[in-house]
Structure 1
Amino acid sequence: MSTISKKRIQRWQYNNYGVLHKKLHYSPNSKKRIYEEFFDKNGNIYCTKMFEDNEKNSLIYIQTYRHGRPHLTFKTEKQLFQHYFENKFNENDVVFCDARLLDKPLLNQQNKTKNILVFHSSHLNDNKTINQSYKMALENPQKVTQYLLLTEKQKSDILNVTNIDPDKISIIPHFIMPHQSTDNVEQLDRFVFIGRIAEEKQINHILYAYHNFLKSGFTTKLSIYGRDEFGQQRKLEQLIEELELQDNIDINGFTNNPLM
């Protein structure tokens, strides 16, 4: 914090070993980040990022360093990612990608890698059209070795709107390790959601379905466990109030032991 204005001007981030790895610098006026520095384990800067000091706060450029001197400059993060992939991977390397931000730099890099794209969320918008972030992955199947999905329903949806070979799509559902049950565990009559409280998880769909469930005369409670992301919990709380479900739903934070 500035000793003069009492406003935030820097934020230092440390890794799990207590080593400083990143500094964020903020504008004293707009309070937006304007500069980021990244440090290696020896305290040397290896990368900086500059941002516009306005409401949009767009990235201006990324500068990398080698031996303490400026090395390469990139206009976008995707350019940096693609450069990294082209220097990191070799021909026929098997690469798993579960972040749609990385699809374009991965699929456009020059090495002929075996790209396996993992989908954790729905590829559809609320209006049932393909989400913009999934278009690169679904419109370039010739660059993809295999798609890994969670459900047969999503596979069916994709085949309905693309010409992807069905043999290129595999289904591996979520799973949990077997747990030894005991007579000492209290059996509760409730539904449980466990996951990130994020927009792409579509928890609002659960609330609407649960609302209809209660209207049918059932009384089973609903418990939600997860870490809030970007204020989504407040939006859920507002929807719960609109649907008058306050007495039937409890929202809990992140837990390492959901069986308790």
Structure 2
Amino acid sequence: MQKLYFITSTLPLVHGGRTKSLLKRAHLLNDRGIELTIISTNYNPDYSIVYQDYREEDKVTLKTQFENIYDYYRNKSTNSNHINLWKKELEKIVGDFSDYVEVTRSKKGGRFYYYRGGIPKFMIKNSDSKNQEFFATYNEWNFNPHKFYYINNDGWIHKIDTYDASNELISQEFLTQNGQCYIYKEYKKNKLVVIQLHEPNNKIVSFSSEKEFIAYFFNDVFYENDVVVNDARFLDLPLLKAKVGKRIFQIHNSHLNNPLDNQSGVKGSFSNILNSKFPKTDTIVSLTEKQKKDIISAVPSLKDNISVIPHSTTKRELKYQRQLNHFGVICRLHPQKNLVDAIKGFQLFLKEYPDYILDVYGDGESRQELEHLVNELDIRDKVLFHGNVKEIDKAYQSLNLLMITSDFEGFALNALEAISNGTPIITYEVNYGPTDIIDANSGWVTRERTPEALKEKMIEAIMQPKNVKDVQKRSLKFSEENFVKSWLKEIGKDEK
């Protein structure tokens, strides 16, 4: 029986556009009666919590199942219901707790240190929920912990990390609830050198890289007539080594070495699929026509292997009050998004129109830098950081307009979400997405990629505002009906 799989490197609880689009694709296909399994390949002991949240938030239906490479091999190696509880394991290592003096170095850290003879012997770290997160043991020759024993929500040790005297990681052991090691990883100078998979029949299979290991796993779970959709470039090579019926490679980002230069060549992470040896029976799915044309220009032999399926949306009910003096950005706070320009452009705009507010929705590694910039420009009362937001439609509808200043995108899902909520967009010329999504009735494209050009369009936006109904009308081009029809054709399923 042919099965459908989506594969990705990670499924975060709080996620960005790539995971959001994957889950929505799954949901829409589920709604048409298509069953599928989403497979992740990173290690996360709390995936059951993630899956539960996805279901409670209606991000997936019961027609979507989940699998993870580590969970798969752990379950294969679990041979009894016996659970090795962490406290018993710790007692085996250190003996009677009453022989030690407990020391709390910091109340905030949740770490409790246990000394004997003036020397630290072990440490217990509690999580915010008061459960134990891990315990660590010390060697006589080092005041840094030697081994970290990580504890899951069920109270058993799921992973052991071992460090040398220089505090460099030398090994990881992944354990079943019985305490058996099912995957072992060895490191030299913090670099992975070998992975050993301990199969239930006492067979040990060794791999020199994560990709080798993942390819082995794919051949374990996939059959020759299955259809597999890959959403992560890290998994391209492992999937190409797997025997399946059809591979579909979904592109989420720019394939260019320099996203601002169409002549800069193909990025290394795309090299496994954007080449003349790409299998003729497989497909690459781009989100925009422009990216498809650029790929064919770089690799002409791919012209019959690329489809274009944009993200989809539905026109939202307008039920929240729009604040005309509020502009916004809604995205992951990441260097790629180039939000420094958005803030600098807004600061220039404020000099002429001081009664406006910039709402920043989202979180990420750039937040501290951006907050520092806001303080430096002395506009902290005009730029509000809200963090991640759950009521996304309310956020969009509260804005007069959305700004996009990214260096590159695969599609810019936030642009599509904005117009479906009647919120027009000011955007830089970006490869790829925003300029494919908006038209003259739903947004503005700056004349150049500068804060000064942004300021000009902000002034134009308040002097010549777009009509909310016209903005929403543009979103009809990206209907869910067209999206599902295209995907059903791609996976070889008759529309139900």
Q: Cα–Cα, structure 1 residues 175 and 112, in superposed 2: closer, same or farther, change >3 Å?
A: closer
Q: Partner residue of 2:250? A: 118
Q: CA deviation at 1:36?
A: 1.2
Residue 58 of structure 1 corresponds to 191
Preserved CA contact (<8 Å) 2:227 2:244: no
- Cα offset, 1:51, TM superposition: 0.9
Q: Distance in 2 between matches of 1:211 and 1:38?
A: 47
Of 27, 36, 39 in structure 1, the residue corresponding to residue 172 of structure 2 is 36
Q: Which one of 216, 220, 233 corresponds to residue 87 of structure 1?
A: 220
Q: Is the 8 A contact 1:117 1:144 kept in 2?
A: no
TM alignment of 1:149-160, pairs within 5 A: 149-160=286-297
Map Cα deviations across residues 88-140 of structure 1 (whole Å, 9 max, x no partner).
2221310111111111121133x243110111121112253321111112114
Q: Give the structure with the larger helix fraction.
A: 2
Superposition deviation, residue 190 in structure 1: 1.3
Counterpart in 2 of 1:203?
337
Once the 2 structures are TM-superposed, how far is the Cα of residue 33 of structure 1 from its aligned partner?
2.4
Q: Which amino acid aligns with 2:289?
A: E
* In structure 2, C-alpha distance between the alignment counterparts of 1:156 and 1:86, rounded to whole Å: 33
* Residues 102-181 of structure 1 mapped to structure 2, 5 A cutoff: 102-109=235-242, 111-126=243-258, 128-139=264-275, 140-142=277-279, 145-176=282-313, 179-181=316-318
Query: Is 1:23 matched with 2:155?
Result: no
Q: Tell me which amino acid in the other structure corresponds to 1:133.
A: S
Q: Deviations over 1:212-233 (max 9, x none)?
A: 57657677654443342xx444
Asked if 1 retains the 8 angstrom alpha-carbon contact of 2:327 and 2:357, the reply is yes
**Cα 1:91/1:151, change in 2 over 3 Å:** same
Contact 2:214 2:238 in 1 (8 A): yes
Q: Cα 1:232–1:214, aligned 2, differ >3 Å: closer, same or farther?
A: closer
Partner secondary structure for residue 141 of structure 1: coil
1:158 CA displacement: 1.4
Residue of structure 1 equivalent to 2:327 = 190
**Corresponding residue for 2:423?**
none
Superposed CA deviations along residues 135-161 of structure 1, whole A, max 9, x for unmatched, are 112114326622222222322221221
Structure 2 residue matching 1:90: 3-state secondary structure: coil
Distance of 2:278 and 2:387 partners within structure 1: 39
Alignment of 1:65-84 (within 5 A): 65-67=198-200, 69=202, 71-84=204-217
TM-aligned CA distance change 1:22 to 1:222, over 3 Å: farther
Answer with 93-102 or 79-88: which moved more. 79-88
Q: Aligned AA for 1:130?
A: V
Check conservation: 1:44, 1:68, Cα contact below 8 A. Answer: no
User: TM-score if structure 1 supplies the norm length?
Assistant: 0.75
The residue number in structure 1 matching 2:444 is none
Q: Once superposed, what is the RMSD of the aligned Cα atoms?
A: 3.5
Amino acid at match of 2:273: A
Larger Rg: 2
Mapped to 2, the partners of 1:143 and 1:237 lie a distance apart of 49
Distance 1:174 1:156 in 2: 18
**Percentage identity across aligned positions?**
29
Residues 71-104 of structure 1 show CA distances to partners (whole Å, capped at 9, x for unaligned) of 1111111111122222322213101111111111
Question: CA distance change for structure 1 residues 144 and 40 in 2, over 3 Å: closer, same or farther?
Answer: farther
Q: Who is 1:257 aligned against?
A: 391
Bigger relative CO (Cα 8 Å, ≥ 6 apart): 2
Cα 1:92–1:194 change in 2 (3 A) is same
Structure 1 runs not aligned, ≥5 long: none
2:127 corresponds in structure 1 to: none
Q: CA deviation at 1:235?
A: 5.2
User: 1: CA distance between counterparts of 2:220 and 2:305?
Assistant: 27
- Taking the aligned partners of 1:143 and 1:8, their CA distance within structure 2 comes to 53
Residues 139-193 of structure 1: CA deviation (Å, up to 9, x unaligned): 143266222222223222212211144443233333455543325x453521222
1:120 alignment partner AA: H
Unmatched segments (≥5 aa) in structure 2: 1-110, 114-119, 122-141, 396-496
